[in-house]
Amino acid sequence: MADTIMRGVLAGLFAAVADSLIGIAAYLELGTLTTAHYLSELIFPHHAVNLIRYGFGLIVHFIAAALLGVLLAIIFKHFGSDYAYPKGMGFGLILWVIYVLVIPNIVYPHLDLYHSEMEAGVDLIGHVVYGLVATYYLVKTEEKPAV
């Protein structure tokens, strides 16, 4: 039997790599900040992001991604993987809303999370891609019933 937790962790980590690559590409091409930048600002408010703080943001990003991958694996296990990709996209969109509205208002209510509309759009795309990549891995590693 496939291990739900391990599948979820791997799905989340692979998806975090995809999300990070989108963020890094946008950072290099458009100058937008990455998820690790935002998390660094949440962890260390009122401090400039430096390499060490960025590293902490990146570590938190991957830990959260692994945990959320487990949540998505559990959702698929209990509710089925029919319409898997729309569910994965929806999961990524819900994560983005939580990331944009809920977490900053709990941790640091006056933080300007995004510095431009472009950053918000890139981050939204990154979260949708996270949901799709995690879903892809979970669907591909799903245990099929014996015939």
Query: What integer pLDDT is reported at residue 1 of this predicted model?
Result: 53
Q: DSSP per residue over 63-86, as a string?
A: HHHHHHHHHHHHHHHHH-STTHHH
**pLDDT tens figures, 52-65:** 999 999 999 999 99
pLDDT at residue 17, as a whole number:
97
Has this prediction a pTM greater than 0.85?
yes
pLDDT of residue 51: 94
- In this prediction, residue 79 carries a pLDDT of 94
DSSP 8-class letter at 5: H
d(C-alpha 13, C-alpha 70), whole Å: 10
What's the pLDDT score for residue 145?
67
Per-residue model confidence (pLDDT) at position 31: 87
Query: Which of 54, 38, 50, 34 lies closest to 108 in space, CA to CA?
Result: 38
Averaged pLDDT in 10-residue chunks for the chain of 147 residues: 90 97 93 88 87 95 97 95 96 92 75 78 95 97 76
Q: What is residue 111's predicted lDDT score, i.e. its pLDDT?
A: 66
